Amino acid sequence: MQKKTLADLYTNWNDLVATASSWEGRTLKQLFSEDSNRAARYTVAATGLQFDFSKNHIDEKTLAQLIDAANQADLQGAIKKLMRGDHVNNTENRPALHTSLRFIGAAKTDEQKCVAETLKKMAKLIDSVHSGDWKGHKGDKITDVVNIGIGGSDLGPRMVTKALTPFHTGHVNVHFVANVDGAEIYDLTQKLDPASTLFLIASKSFSTLETLENSLSARKWMLDSGCAQDQLCHHFVAISSKVDKAVEFGIDAENVYPLWDWVGGRYSLWSAIGMPIAFAVGMDNFNKLRHGAAAMDNHFAEAPLEKNIPVLMGLLMFWYSNFLGTDTQAILPYAYHLQLLPAYLQQLEMESNGKSVTKDGVRVDYKTGSIVWGTEGTNGQHSFHQLLHQGTTMVPIDFIATLTAHHPIDHQHKYLFANCVAQSQALMSGRNLETTEAELRASGVSEDDIRKLAEHKVHPGNRPSSTMLMEKLTPETLGALIAAYEHKVYTLGTLWAINSYDQWGVELGKLLGTHIATAIDTTDIPGDWDSSTQTLVRKFNERNKSL
């Protein structure tokens, strides 16, 4: 079978390969000592973010070759296509117009008009719940809002709601339920009062198993508590592109907030899917989040490629995964409130770019989407950083840090920031055998012990990272940060010639899940299933029959 190679896509592929091998033996430490201006040379500031990518294996020649590749992929043309609504999602024949969700000013396009109308409706709802005008079926004020959704209908709103904790208005408590594991909704509802709880059913397709099952459980919980069927409208609203399905489920038509086919689930937090965010921080802050993203959209559309933050983020990952052999990337926000960012970016990057065929359906002979992982700093330092420093795998890292905190405990923010910078410094500069031995000697360790210990204490260094710095984590800077990652994903999708906006790979598992559930219900296990699957289902059936 014919496979597409990077050499088919890029005339300078051989040059890039040669440049990659020329990097063997060169160290970042050396580059910094040769160029005192390196940090400034490789830092781009825009939209409240400063992207310092100087601790990466790049120099002017490497960058020029990568930009050449971006030009060959017509990245600038691709950005125009994205923003003007061309059908960049070719397998589903539709645009990916998440940038329209954060338009500023008067609505011009049809999409922007739909967004403006929905935002207005959403603002009214938020206001009436916050003010107490919206009442539960017994006349109570709503105290708790529960978002039921999964994937893009959960991860973005959940991450942003947590990230903007300092901006919470305190009018309502916002909760999230995603998992089909009944433990999640059961545990949560134990703590809530049905009379003052509002459920948001968030599902673009309104056909996702987890969301529908959790919604049925929520409805039963309300009915069991004494809420009459015709009073459920006080406790349920829905956000969906399938308004008819939501109504069929029993949501009042006026309580359904639309979403559109031209918004991908994982790009939808700026739409009514972001309602939990607005419930937590108010509409003004929700709009500031949108404005931050809009500023990044402008930057992505207008900045030259070599000064374009999302483009540089994408080019770096292209360089590492396709030329320097990395398989994963770590996202390490040194901000407690950004603790859900890695999980959010896992869906954004891996569901978007985990593909094996080009947009034309030709199998690729090169790596595409890499594995995204990480956690908040400093917690990771006491967990997996050992491997980052001394393991055999190179992992490019994004450190994310803020200059100032929202809390008044300055000495802790100092240590947080100091540790972030120290990690990138240690990973980059390392500590060689000679220095290690000298340090051991200076601290009075015997020559015998130095011989035994020194190699264990060597840090190879030369490990790449970028640092995304912002003054403070605000709705605006967060909006810009998220949009930067969205556009990084599209940059990579363009470089790899794949469609970043479909997700066919999630379908087969879902389908087989329904077959297995049927086999459990009917106890009829098809004999042509593999013996492992048959045995597992049989065990479940036997155990549950005996209960």
Tell me which residues touch ligand F6P (CB under 6 A).
Answer: 150-153, 203-205, 208, 211, 265-266, 351, 503, 506
Q: Of the two residues 156 and 194, which places its CB atom closer to ligand F6P in the complex? A: 156
Token pair 């909760």 is at which residue? 175
Tell me if residue 60 is catalytic.
Answer: no
What would the two tokens of residue 234 be?
A: 């006080």
3-state SS, one letter per residue, for 426-462: HHHHCECHHHHHHHHHHCCCCHHHHHHHHHHHCECCC
Q: Of the two residues 451 and 515, which places its CB atom closer to ligand F6P in the complex? A: 515
What would the two tokens of residue 510 be?
A: 């879902």
Q: Are strands 197-202 and 236-240 parallel, antiparallel or unpaired?
A: parallel
How near is the Cβ of 241 to ligand F6P at its closest, in Å?
8
Tell me if residue 137 is catalytic.
Answer: no
Dihedral sign computed on CA atoms, order 86, 87, 89, 90? negative
How near is the Cβ of 196 to ligand F6P at its closest, in Å?
26
Q: Of the two residues 203 and 491, which places its CB atom closer to ligand F6P in the complex? A: 203
Of the residues 351, 376, 437, 476, which is catalytic?
351
Q: 138 with 132: CB under 8 angstroms?
A: no
Instruction: Provide the Cα torsion 454, 457, 458, 460; round to 10°.
Output: 160
Of the residues 24, 34, 382, 456, which is catalytic?
382
Of the residues 120, 414, 452, 510, which is catalytic?
510
CB proximity list for 92: less than 8 A, separation 6 or greater: 261, 501, 502
**Distance in angstroms (rounded) separating the CA atoms of residues 334 and 379:** 9
Order the strands of the 43-46 sheet from edge to edge: 43-46, 49-52, 465-470, 397-402, 328-333, 371-373
Q: 317 with 370: CB under 8 angstroms?
A: yes
Q: Of the two residues 157 and 374, which places its CB atom closer to ligand F6P in the complex? A: 157
What are the residues facing 431 on neighbouring strands?
459
How near is the Cβ of 155 to ligand F6P at its closest, in Å?
8
Q: 468 with 51: CB under 8 angstroms?
A: yes
How near is the Cβ of 293 to ligand F6P at its closest, in Å?
18
Cis peptide before 378 (omega within 30 of 0): yes
Q: Of the two residues 16 and 238, which places its CB atom closer to ligand F6P in the complex? A: 238
Find the radius of gyration of the CA atoms of the chain.
Answer: 26
Dihedral sign computed on CA atoms, order 83, 86, 91, 93? positive
How near is the Cβ of 265 to ligand F6P at its closest, in Å?
3
How near is the Cβ of 297 to ligand F6P at its closest, in Å?
21
Cα-based angle 199, 272, 181 (whole degrees, multiple of 5): 40
How near is the Cβ of 333 to ligand F6P at its closest, in Å?
22
Q: Are strands 49-52 and 43-46 parallel, antiparallel or unpaired?
A: antiparallel
How near is the Cβ of 179 to ligand F6P at its closest, in Å?
13
How near is the Cβ of 245 to ligand F6P at its closest, in Å?
10
Q: Of the two residues 197 and 271, which places its CB atom closer to ligand F6P in the complex? A: 271
Cα distances (angstroms) measured from residue 176 to each of 141, 146, 508: 20, 6, 26
Tell me if residue 382 is catalytic.
Answer: yes
CB proximity list for 93: less than 8 A, separation 6 or greater: 87
Q: Of the two residues 148 and 397, which places its CB atom closer to ligand F6P in the complex? A: 148
Q: Of the two residues 54 and 352, which places its CB atom closer to ligand F6P in the complex? A: 352
Q: 88 with 82: CB under 8 angstroms?
A: yes
Q: Of the two residues 130 and 219, which places its CB atom closer to ligand F6P in the complex? A: 219
| Residue among 465, 466, 444, 461 at smallest CA distance from 453 | 444
Could you count the other beta carbons within 10 Å of the beta carbon of residue 547? Answer: 4
**Distance in angstroms (rounded) separating the CA atoms of residues 279 and 185:** 20
The residues that are catalytic are 351, 382, 510
